[in-house]
Chain A
Amino acid sequence: MSSTMLSRRAFLGSAAATGAFVLGTRLVPVSVFSQDALAQGPWEPGVYLAILPDGLVRIIAHRSEMGTGIRTSLPLVVADELDADWARVTLVQALGDKKYGSQNTDGSCSIRDFYEPMRVAGATARTMLEQAAAKTWNVPVAEVAARNHAVVHGASGRSLGFGDLVATARTLPVPAAASLQFKKAEAYRYVGTPMPSVDLEAIVKGQAVYGADVERPGMLLASIVRPPVLGSTLTSLDDGAARKVAGVTDVVKLAEATAPFGFKPLGGVAVLGTSTWATLQGRKALNAQWSASPNASFDSATFRKTLVDVVHTPGRVVRTQGNVDATIGVGPTHEATYYTPMLAHAPMEPPMAVAEVTGGKAEIWTCTQNPQAVQDTVAQALGITPEDVTCHVTLLGGGFGRKSKPDYAAEAALLARQVGKPVKVVWTREDDLQFDFFHAPSAQYLKAAIGPDGLPTAWLQRTAFPPIGSTFDEKEQYGGGQVNMGFTDLPYPIANLRVENNPAPAHVRIGWLRSVAHIHHAFAVQSFTDELAALAKADRVEYLLRIIGQPRVIDLAAEGAKGVRANPQHPFDTARLRRVIELVAEKSDWAKKPAAPGRALGIAAHYSFFSYIAAVVEVEVNARGQVKIPRVDVAVDAGTIVSPDRVASQFEGAAVFGTSIALLSEITAREGRIDQTNFANYILARQDNAPKETHVHVVKSTAPPAGVGEPGVPVIMPAIANAIFAATGKRLRDLPMRKVPMNG
């Protein structure tokens, strides 16, 4: 311990209230050290920032940057509260360390959970700098104020830079959180403005460093042949030819993982060498044979039928009100079944990790969404403690949930220990698509009794999908919290309503993909709603507003939902859902663009990650059945917005991501092996089939910040399906839609 010591105290009540977990560690000055020694070093009034005696402000970016701009946005909040000059701020990417609270950059929660703690960090330091200036000038603290990297005394015109105040500030007690004064929203200089990402310059110059780009002295490259079916094991290996490839240095067997698979490395045979090309050539020359596994029975086409069949049988009830059985047979009814396939994350940068292991300690450099999980997973693989694992976080060439699962970091660590040298594990695109933690395949069955006004009087819906829980407990077949993602929380006030979940076993590793179960649930619910609107011959926007009904705050527990906990920070308010629907209808010129053969608009609205989203998608379907998307409008209410341009870019990107899911992408399996190998058969939207223009309309709000990275995706698939129906009369209930001829 040098000039500071660790002191545990509650960081702040409000931090805990926003769900930011433990932020309890603060660095506070210790008076036993001499003032001279202290004056030299950076002053650290909290874990997220330091101010150097030369005035430079150093802010910790503790979340992972995968394209959302979070590495810029959260530090901007600190800088704004501090009244720092952004030009005199440097960012330091945090190592994995529990002292920062959760670093798992996942679940669209970075701003949601850390907006308050960042404001507190900035306000704490600013308050102490102001107190230091007041003390220096011997004036009341109320007479001074921080202004652009200095504290000024208005009455006398005196001013001292932040750096000049560090020596005094560090001797002051850290103010109680409750005593802090925050800036008014109007006073923000950075929050709410389109500030560019700190990585922009490096990216356009090709200088940005991703996991793939890390190099250590004496490093070997490694490529791994993994068990082709989950649970199969190596039965024979001939590596003679592989070892003869120039540049190949080692062939290493890694023990196969057993269930539950969790984040464990899968095992297999690694080929190591002095260049990537050598390891890839060596790998091709391996002759490895694998045992059978119970998962070899997995055939995705057969499994589709299993899912569809099971949702036509009673499931586990997760929400019930009124009496569906007594009412759903009365009068006209409508029913439909939906299916969505397995999906892969396919970030443009596949998983990559570099490891060095020496003397019982591991050092990792990797593109990870979750450096603390890297510490845990590597520690477990090596039999050391998480504190003995240092995790450096690089930029991520996309994540989408894949890179919060650090199996690849553990592979690198095991190999580095084995060969006694730094090792970079390179996942090929083929590896990435075949050994993903897949988005689950799913089926939904929906049935409604329709009243004289066209609105449902009774509603039954069921969903089945192998749950994420199966990756951690192979016996798990029910969706748990994933059922609540856009399904249990159906926002329609229907007197007789039942929501059920049917079981589904997993045969591959199931994981969370951007928007998770909202992907399939929004597709089913918003498609079905459109089907009911069509039956009622109603305008789709009007029908959507009618079925949502009068504005209300939904109390799911009172409406028969089991095990759903309300979040007091984020009540589900249908007034906000209605507002985004009205806004998107207006901005898309909905009323002036009636459907015509081959060209139509479609709408969908969905609530996820506490954000309210509505989208209108315009499609054109030509005589050959090809779909083009000239325009997407998205209305967004995500509460308080920190970085409006990055918010817009997330929704633009989500429209493309959703288009891939709707029209193009599918993972299939036969005999337990994944069929897709590369972008030729795992198809993603490109310039020609992505939406031409996406217009993002953000509702101004001072509500607590909600999610942005994920909520843009779920609306896109149903909005496209609904538009295609309006343009062609074809109702597409299976994804991806390219598999069904639209002109037939």
Chain B
Amino acid sequence: MSQTSSATTSTIALVVNGEARTFEGDPQTPLLWVLRDTLKLTGTKYSCGIGLCGACTVHMDGRPIRSCATAVSLVAGKKITTIEGLAPAGAEHPLQTAWKAHQVPQCGYCQSGQIMQAAALLATRPNATEAQIESYMDGILCRCGTYQRIRAAIKDAQAAGRQG
């Protein structure tokens, strides 16, 4: 991927939700602010800014990353998926279906991060146990306390996946 640099400014090409995008600016800018301020993808949330809460979780080549603690220069040429691109337009991801069935969200602010983290788990370990779900999801804070519904929804989506 192309990456031209001046002293403080670079042009960085990325693929976000399947679309080629470019960012011009400080290559140290966390991906979070590129998504939110530049690309106007505000589904990805800021809450701690230093990798402690998971509100900003997106996928890089399918792996969950904390976009607040990932410089945009590190994702040049990588495939980034945000909550807006988790399911094709007009469709929904099985987790989104399960999330609605369990009415998981309260304020909802942490939920993009919860769903993105859970989606990575579902994709890589579709039969994760309760304990594995708990430890995989431990990094994503929810001040409203929706944890038990999050686990219940993930288990539903696992079951739906086995049937489908």
| Chain A minimum-CB-distance residue to B44 | A206
Tell me the residues in window 53-79 of chain A with beta carbons closer than 8 Å to chain B beta carbons: 65-69
A293 at the interface (CB under 8 A from B): no
**Within 8 Å CB of A646, what residues of B?**
103
**Within 8 Å CB of A429, what residues of B?**
47-50, 53
A512 at the interface (CB under 8 A from B): no
Q: Which of A135-143, A160-168, A191-199 contacts B (4 or more CB under 8 A)?
A: A191-199
**Within 8 Å CB of B26, what residues of A?**
246-247, 277-278, 281
* Residue of A197, A200, A209 ringed by the most chain B CB atoms within 10 A: A200
- A206-B44, A678-B48, A693-B148 in contact; A348/B82 too (CB < 8 A)? no
CB of B106 within 8 A of CB of A653, answer: yes
A321 at the interface (CB under 8 A from B): no
**Within 8 Å CB of A208, what residues of B?**
108
CB of B37 within 8 A of CB of A686, answer: no
CB of B137 within 8 A of CB of A687, answer: yes
Interface 1/0 per residue, B119-163 and A, CB below 8 Å: 000000000000000110111111111111111000000000000
**Within 8 Å CB of A690, what residues of B?**
145, 147-148
Q: Which of A16-24, A100-108, A224-232, A395-403 contacts B (4 or more CB under 8 A)?
A: A395-403
CB of A275 within 8 A of CB of B33, answer: yes
CB of A679 within 8 A of CB of B52, answer: yes
B21 at the interface (CB under 8 A from A): no
A573 at the interface (CB under 8 A from B): no
Taking the closest CB of chain A, its distance from the CB of B36, in whole angstroms, is 7
* Residue of B112, B140, B142 ringed by the most chain A CB atoms within 10 A: B142
Complex CA gap A67/B150 in Å reads: 15
A391 at the interface (CB under 8 A from B): no
Q: Which of A33-41, A210-218, A373-381, A592-600 contacts B (4 or more CB under 8 A)?
A: A210-218
How many B residues face the partner with a CB closer than 8 A?
A: 60
CB of B44 within 8 A of CB of A67, answer: no
Taking the closest CB of chain A, its distance from the CB of B161, in whole angstroms, is 17
A239 at the interface (CB under 8 A from B): no
CB of B37 within 8 A of CB of A276, answer: yes
A688 at the interface (CB under 8 A from B): yes
CB of A397 within 8 A of CB of B107, answer: yes
CB of B146 within 8 A of CB of A348, answer: no
Q: Which of A435-443, A608-616, A654-662 contacts B (4 or more CB under 8 A)?
A: A654-662
CB of A348 within 8 A of CB of B145, answer: no
Complex CA gap A274/B18 in Å reads: 27
CB of A396 within 8 A of CB of B105, answer: no
CB of B100 within 8 A of CB of A206, answer: no
Complex CA gap A398/B37 in Å reads: 22
How many A residues face the partner with a CB closer than 8 A?
A: 67
Complex CA gap A200/B98 in Å reads: 12
Interface 1/0 per residue, B47-81 and A, CB below 8 Å: 11110110100000000000000000000000000
B9 at the interface (CB under 8 A from A): yes
Contact pick for A649, options B9, B138, B146, CB 8 Å: B146
- A213-B42, A215-B40, A678-B50 in contact; A685/B145 too (CB < 8 A)? yes
| Chain A minimum-CB-distance residue to B115 | A204
**Within 8 Å CB of A201, what residues of B?**
100
B11 at the interface (CB under 8 A from A): no
CB of A653 within 8 A of CB of B144, answer: yes
CB of B25 within 8 A of CB of A247, answer: yes
Complex CA gap A726/B42 in Å reads: 48
**Within 8 Å CB of B52, what residues of A?**
678-680
Complex CA gap A398/B29 in Å reads: 27
B19 at the interface (CB under 8 A from A): no
B16 at the interface (CB under 8 A from A): no
Complex CA gap A414/B68 in Å reads: 28
**Within 8 Å CB of B42, what residues of A?**
206, 209, 212-213, 215
Contact pick for B25, options A246, A678, A693, CB 8 Å: A246
Q: Is the interface of B mostly helix, strand, loop or mixed?
A: loop
A184 at the interface (CB under 8 A from B): no
A203 at the interface (CB under 8 A from B): yes
CB of B105 within 8 A of CB of A204, answer: yes
Contact pick for A207, options B43, B50, B138, CB 8 Å: B43
CB of A276 within 8 A of CB of B145, answer: no
**Within 8 Å CB of B33, what residues of A?**
275-277
Complex CA gap A678/B148 in Å reads: 24
CB of B144 within 8 A of CB of A203, answer: no
CB of A212 within 8 A of CB of B107, answer: no
Complex CA gap A396/B104 in Å reads: 16
Interface 1/0 per residue, A297-323 and B, CB below 8 Å: 000000000000000000000000000
Tell me the residues in window 481-536 of chain A with beta carbons closer than 8 Å to chain B beta carbons: none
Taking the closest CB of chain A, its distance from the CB of B99, in whole angstroms, is 5
Complex CA gap A652/B144 in Å reads: 9
A675 at the interface (CB under 8 A from B): no
Complex CA gap A281/B49 in Å reads: 13
* Residue of A206, A281, A400, A688 ringed by the most chain B CB atoms within 10 A: A206
Contact pick for A645, options B37, B82, B103, B145, CB 8 Å: B103
Taking the closest CB of chain B, its distance from the CB of A538, in whole angstroms, is 32
Interface 1/0 per residue, A679-703 and B, CB below 8 Å: 1100011111011111000000000
A559 at the interface (CB under 8 A from B): no
Contact pick for B49, options A203, A210, A397, A428, CB 8 Å: A428
A205 at the interface (CB under 8 A from B): yes
Complex CA gap A246/B26 in Å reads: 8
CB of A199 within 8 A of CB of B108, answer: yes
- A203-B105, A203-B108, A649-B106 in contact; A277/B149 too (CB < 8 A)? no
Contact pick for B108, options A67, A212, A693, CB 8 Å: A67
- A678-B48, A678-B52, A687-B134 in contact; A246/B8 too (CB < 8 A)? yes
CB of A649 within 8 A of CB of B143, answer: no
A672 at the interface (CB under 8 A from B): no
CB of A655 within 8 A of CB of B103, answer: no
| Chain B minimum-CB-distance residue to A691 | B148
Which chain B residues have a beta carbon within 8 Å of chain A's beta carbons?
8-9, 25-26, 29-30, 33, 36-38, 40-50, 52-53, 55, 82-84, 86, 92, 96, 99-100, 103-112, 115, 134-135, 137-151
Give me 5 A-to-B residue pairs in the complex whose CB atoms sit less than 8 angstroms apart, sorted by A's number.
Answer: A204-B99, A426-B46, A429-B49, A679-B52, A686-B139
Which chain A residues have a beta carbon within 8 Å of chain B's beta carbons?
65-69, 194, 196-197, 199-201, 203-210, 212-213, 215, 221, 246-247, 275-278, 281, 346-350, 395-400, 426, 428-429, 645-646, 649-650, 652-657, 678-680, 684-688, 690-694
Q: A275-B29, A429-B50 are in contact. List 17 more A-B contacts (CB 8 A).
A: A67-B105, A196-B103, A201-B100, A203-B105, A204-B100, A205-B83, A208-B108, A212-B42, A212-B45, A397-B107, A399-B107, A649-B103, A652-B149, A653-B106, A655-B145, A678-B49, A679-B141
Q: Which 5 A-B pairs have the closest CB atoms?
A: A206-B43, A656-B145, A397-B109, A206-B83, A67-B106
